[in-house]
Amino acid sequence: MKTGALLCCFTLCLVLSSVTSINNLTKIQDLQNTQFGRQYPRHGLLLLHWFANNIEIDNNNVNLLHQNPNRGDFGFHRYRNYEIDQNSGRSTFPQCPSLSTYYSVGNINNVEVRSMFPSYVTRDYHTSPNNPLRNIDRLVIRVQNNNPRRVEEVYITQHYRDRNRGSGYDPENTYRVSTSLLQQIQNLANQDNNAQQLNNLYRSESGLSPFLTETGYDRNYRILQFSLSQFCSNSKSKTYRFPRSVDPNLQCETPRDIKLEVKSTSKGYARISWSEIPESLVEDNKIGLYKDDRLLTDYSLNGKTFGTEDTSTYLNSGLQVKLLTSDKNEVIWTGPKFNDANGVLPTDLIGNDASLQLYTIDGYACARLFIKKSFTDWENVFYNSWVGFYSSAKDANKQYGEYQYVVKFKKITNQDLSEKYDIREYKSGVAIGPGVQARFLLDKGYTNVAARTKAWDGVISPVWTNDELRK
């Protein structure tokens, strides 16, 4: 009996010692004691700010995530917590309860994932192409299996800076983030920002600049590196060369949050949009539309700090706007790559384990269905269901431009978006453009609408309301 008791105690000690003790962060200032994203080009703090402003915290301190990790929104993917630290012999996170699952988010190496995030999260990734630190930060969350939007735990972590230690997460730089800290980040949106230079970069993101200030983010280094990466070319002589149209003293001291976007015309062609360009950059420079780093077309700015240009290029995923010098096509600024769904998440079907997303191929409106694999009888349930395409969200359900029965959607076989969902797609002959909407109707009638996508527009990152989250 004594031997068995000792063996049991020894085994329990091994189990307890195999899990890293994780420090709790309860206020924003606690982030000052971590390495997490606190210097350019790391994106961890930007990622945490995005996450905190994409959850709802109810009166019981329950976090309800806007995205669906099961579906792979924003690159969320299952994290199995198998890695063991070579030095300590410990796993990074506590053992996950049987009714919960870990998910990781923040890998922006993938261009499709990168295009889903708002530009402030990924901007430094573009301006530091050879820096090994630009993609090491991650968030890991624990969610309930039966309700994957209900977040039980939130962690910040990072890959090892020393690649010889493996590709896992570093337990010495892993911390648990409290609900209180997330609430503090949300509350900063109502506070004034006194870091004016940093706010030039992030003035469109409420609360981001004061958040970075309170975390002890290295603002001066960030501003310097950002300026040099955008407006200065480092030559072998360590001197900086500027495009002739750029005033180096002005631009390297006062970076701006230039906005370059791909939108759409009413006929499904790409529309170039730009704004917030400094006056010193608009006289002799131009705007260019790219696909896979190949210049498709360009237009002179003609002194305009903001504006739009309609192109003859069909709207497709991967299109990108860049600010160029007129003489040598030197890139001054790069906008985000266009996401085929315009950065908008799928819309859940009421009462069913499925969701509907509007996207585009070659300027045509398309519909994508995410059907949970556990929903095995979906073909029977949706036998008479159809998706209609509408030119306006105000159109009556009978006023569709085209429709298709759900059972005729084509299954995507070569997919890696989600391990828990099957994906089916349909390409219509309706041109994509502002106002276009897709609707899912459950039967052959016109009243039983299970889902309406957001009307197509220039939205880059989705905005959700409390009512939408609870549908």
Here the CATH number for the domain that contains residue 273 is 2.60.40.10
User: Is residue 204 over pLDDT 60?
Assistant: no
Does 173 fall in a domain?
yes
The pLDDT assigned to 23 comes to 92
Helix, strand, coil in percent for the chain, rounding step 5: 25, 30, 45
282 and 359 assigned to the same domain = no
Final residue of a structural domain among 302, 334, 366: 334
pLDDT in tens, 322-352: 999 888 888 888 888 899 999 899 999 999 9
361 and 414 assigned to the same domain = yes
263 and 321 assigned to the same domain = yes
Q: What percent of the chain has pLDDT over 90?
A: 56
User: Is residue 226 over pLDDT 80?
Assistant: no
Q: In sequence order, what are the residues at sequence separation of 6 or more whose Cβ sits closer than 8 angstroms to the Cβ of residue 314?
A: 268, 269, 270, 362, 363
The pLDDT assigned to 197 comes to 46
pLDDT in tens, 136-186: 999 999 999 999 999 999 999 999 988 777 778 999 999 999 999 999 999
360 and 460 assigned to the same domain = yes
**221 or 84, which is more confident?**
221
330 and 351 assigned to the same domain = no
User: Is residue 419 over pLDDT 90?
Assistant: no
Does 227 fall in a domain?
no
User: Is residue 93 over pLDDT 50?
Assistant: yes
Measured in degrees and rounded to the nearest 5, phi and psi for residue 334 equal: -125, 130
Please state the pTM of the whole predicted model.
0.80
Does 201 fall in a domain?
no
In the chain, the number of structural domains is 3
User: Is residue 219 over pLDDT 80?
Assistant: no
Does 40 fall in a domain?
yes
Residue 269's DSSP bridge partners are: 314
Final residue of a structural domain among 143, 169, 193: 193
Tokens encoding 26: 């309860």
d(CA 364, CA 431): 4
Final residue of a structural domain among 193, 223, 245: 193
309 and 169 assigned to the same domain = no
Does 175 fall in a domain?
yes
The pLDDT assigned to 259 comes to 87
317 and 399 assigned to the same domain = no
162 and 287 assigned to the same domain = no
320 and 265 assigned to the same domain = yes
d(CA 357, CA 370): 8
Domain that holds residue 327: 258-334
Does 38 fall in a domain?
yes
Does 245 fall in a domain?
no
pLDDT in tens, 110-149: 888 888 898 889 888 877 888 999 999 999 999 999 999 9
Does 240 fall in a domain?
no
Highest mean pLDDT among 14-23, 156-165, 194-203, 389-398: 389-398
56 and 150 assigned to the same domain = yes
pLDDT in tens, 442-458: 999 999 999 999 999 85
